Structure 1
Amino acid sequence: MIPAEEQAQRQAAIRALLAKPLLVAADDAEPLMLVRRHLPALSGWLRRETGWRLTADAETARLFKTAPLASGDATHPARGHNKEPFSRRRYVTLCLALSALARADAQTTLGSLADDVLTAAAEPGLAATGFMLTLDTRSDRADLVAVVRLLLTWGVLTRVAGDEDAYLSAGADVLYDVRRPVLGALLTGSRGPSTITARAFEARLAELTAEPVAETDELRNQALRRTLTRRLLDEPVVYYDELTEDERAYLVAQRHNITGRISEATGLLPELRAEGIAMVDPDDELTDVRMPEQRTDGHVTLLLAEYLAGRARAPRGELLAFVRRAAQAHAGYWRKGVTDPGAETELLDIALEKLTGLRLVDIDIEVTRDGTGTVIRGRPAIARFALAEPTIREPGSSPGRQIRKATAHAASTIF
């Protein structure tokens, strides 16, 4: 039996790794200390239950997650300092910057990094794909600055002097320290890139993340358990209809064992329903998309979830009209400009991005007699945001009974 204090420390350590798979001493001193203190137990659990590898030293702790999500999943992109999602262009720039930093000295400047990135971008193989980077325009420089600030957040770079805003506006330089131990821990995968032989991108990615093929029943069951545990840790909801037949059968049979082990290790609580499973965080820490959330965008998202919970599907035009009406009704509380012509488009896009990331809706293209249009379909878990009719208690009811406001509800067979 593990003492309660030790169990709490292990949970705190593994939760820190799930929230931030790369911990750096300068920014994450306390969780890094816990990870190092409980490294054998943590690495053993992660290797056994997920197949993930954990390393830690005095400067970093790195959880090497393999194949957490489908490569085509774009619902959780990297984001810049002002929360804008990374474009494909920025991802390419990030890769070029990392390549340049791998060959850089212990210190570098933004100007020097820019020169190295430009040189790499001019390589014939990359230029043949249509990628072009010049840094002649502010938007080009903004892409590089977004990449650098992401590297600052990760702890790969430490700013010594200067500021990126000055580089954007006046071309002033910025000096950085390069943390090589952190840089060396970034890449994850089951094999080194130099061993990849495929030429097409998807094939190369598949080789980079490929795992050994299970050849016995015991190894196949182990692979199923690891795959399902990864998904339950990584995804907001795991729906049975998205699993293979073998995965679904194994999860149905072993759901209590799998979710029990996850709950014991992380403190997450299982919500088991007919359509799937969600591991719920009672502390609301292990998520990059919160629901519900305050301010205008959060309120729009909550109202939209309620609206979609009562419908199987809704055309995009219908939702735009709904957001326009909501903006008029809540104009006094929402940010300025929400009733301006076209403002509903941005509000709807932000809300749908959140709902899609939480696996609450799907966005489809539907062809009808009237043409082609975008349709939003609610997933089962969105039922938790449906509203019940208010119940008014008659005068004279027992003191403990009060007027019940409309609250989220769901039948026992749905989320």
Structure 2
Amino acid sequence: MNRNEAERQRAFTALLRSPVLDRHTHPEVWPLVRVHRGKLGEWFAQRLGYRLVVTDSAARLFRLPVDGAVVAPRRFRPPTRRVLVLAILAAAAAEDTEDITTTQDLSDRVRVLSTHEDVELAPYDPDRFAERTLFVKAVHLLVSVGALRPTGRDDEEQREGWAHRRDAIGGAYEVRRELLLRLVDPASLRAALTGGHDGGPPHEAAARIGLMRKLVELPVVLYEDLTDAERIYLTGQRHRVLTWCAEMTGWVVEQRAEGMALIAADEADTDLPFPRVRAADFAALMALDKLVRTHGAGSLVTADDLGSAALEVRERYVKAMTNDLSSGEAVESAARDLLGALDLLRPTGEPDRWRLTAAAARYRDPRVVAVNAKLNEEGEG
């Protein structure tokens, strides 16, 4: 692999991980995006149906829907609806501020904005601690997408200080108007207003884009989840698909009888690495192993089955349970949420019933080297 190829792969995977990049937040990757933006834009547009916008100071990747759907899974434990609403109001308020604003200034403006009759939202009340806590999360969300840039300290302690009224103005932020206005671009707005049903790509292109999105965005692609058109495209173009994946990412496509998975070279390249060395992942891993050994991958499991597995984990590994996992249904809840996000435990549509997907067998029989120190398992990716 030559230098240009390695740089393009690094820029491509960085944009997948962080759809907003600029010279301040990603100083090492930003020059690579700028240099290779032509090829990157071609890859995203032709192979994934995404829109990449690169300006003099920032890059933004828009995951446009096809047939009303976006394949990329939701973030694990995403912001609540109220946080998203407050972030949208704060973005609107920031457009009218000075170039430098503060948490308190934005809060004051959002309070006024939320009371307008045409807004039709529950008014924002900064006199309530719960609302202030949600508002600092909303401001942090705008920071994460590049619309605001901290001019000084911006950490959990500082945000908590403003929420508790120990800090009068909160953080200070530069309003980055270019990225603020690119929170939504014309193509994204049109796709949102039409539900992604505005004609879309031709039939073969839709099959190609759908297949490539699933390979790049999902933990695993089961053949049963492909549409007929995607299955036909894969049958005829498997070599091309594998070549594209390797060219764009440098990762390896693992092929099994049930499906395929694009395995990231480093856990930093995925949004939800598993298992990490932490109690919640350990508990979820051991609960999954219990379910797989008892029922087998592909089987249906119930809430009682999951509860029984969680109880065994809590009783067997008492010393590994942190305070937040040692009581009630905490282990069960953590396992359900995490394994669901990884598509190892898939909802069936019926209440309290899930299916263990084929990929769950990959995590069977984990070997515990030292609880709370290091975990290892056969086939870990």
Does the 8 Å contact 1:237/1:276 carry over to 2? yes
Q: Which of 2, 5, 8 pairs up with 2:3?
A: 5
Confirm or deny: 8 A CA contact 1:25 1:32 kept in the other structure: yes
Q: Which has the higher contact order (CA 8 A, sep 6+)?
A: 2
> Structure 1-normalised TM-score?
0.78
CA distance in 2, matches of 1:304, 1:68: 36
Are the equivalent residues in 2 in contact too, given 1:90–1:143 (CA < 8 A)? yes
Give SS of 1:17's match: helix
The range that moved more, 320-329 or 375-384, is 320-329
Structure label with greater radius of gyration: 1
- Tell me the amino acid that sits aligned with residue 353 of structure 1: D
Does structure 1 residue 262 correspond to structure 2 residue 249?
Answer: no
Q: Give the alignment of 1:2-401 within 5 angstroms.
A: 4-67=2-65, 76-77=74-75, 85-127=78-120, 131-160=122-151, 163-170=158-165, 172-174=168-170, 175-188=172-185, 190-191=187-188, 193=189, 205=192, 207=194, 209-214=196-201, 219-310=202-293, 311=295, 312-336=299-323, 338-340=325-327, 342=328, 345-364=329-348, 366=350, 374-387=352-365
Note closer, same or farther for the CA distance 1:353–1:145 as it changes in structure 2 (3 Å cut): same
For 1:258 and 1:37, locate their aligned partners in 2 and report how far apart those are by CA, in whole Å.
Answer: 25
**Superposition deviation, residue 20 in structure 1:** 0.8
1:242-286 C-alpha deviation (Å, 9 max, x unpaired)? 232222222233233112211112112112233322111122232
Displacement of 1:157 in angstroms is 1.6
Conservation of the 8 A alpha-carbon contact between 1:24 and 1:182: no
CA shift in 2, pair 1:72/1:320, >3 Å: farther
1:89 alignment partner AA: R
The secondary structure found in structure 2 opposite 1:30 is coil
Quickly say closer, same or farther: Cα 1:68–1:306, change in 2 above 3 A: farther
State the identity as a percent: 26
Number of aligned positions between the proteins: 363
Contact 1:107 1:177 (C-alpha < 8 Å) held by counterparts: yes
Two-structure CA RMSD over aligned residues (Å): 3.0
Whether the 8 Å CA contact 2:66–2:196 is kept in 1: the answer is no
Equivalent residue letter for 1:168: A
TM-score, normalised to structure 2's length? 0.85
What is the identity, as a one-letter code, of the residue corresponding to 1:173? I
Deviation at residue 336 of structure 1 after TM alignment: 3.5
Flag the 1:131–1:49 CA change in 2: closer, same or farther, 3 A: same
- Work out the CA distance in 2 between the residues paired with 1:240 and 1:189: 34
- For residues 21 and 241 of structure 2, the distance between their equivalents in structure 1, rounded to whole angstroms, comes to 27
1:394 matched residue in structure 2? none
Would you say the 8 A contact 1:75–1:353 is kept in 2?
A: no
1:23 to partner: Cα distance: 0.6
Q: Indicate conservation of the 8 Å contact 1:25/1:58, yes or no.
A: no
**Structure 1 residues 120 and 72, CA gap change in structure 2 (3 angstroms):** farther
Runs of at least 5 residues in structure 2 that lack an aligned partner in the other structure? 368-375
Q: 1:15 to 1:356 in 2, by over 3 A?
A: same
The CA deviation string for residues 145-184 of structure 1, in whole angstroms up to 9 with x for no partner, is: 1011122233322233673322211261133211112223
Aligned partner of 1:201 in structure 2 is none
Deviation at 1:206, TM superposition (A): 5.2
> How far is the alpha carbon of 1:382 from its aligned partner?
0.9
**Alpha-carbon distance between aligned partners in 1 of 2:334 and 2:185, rounded to the nearest angstrom:** 30
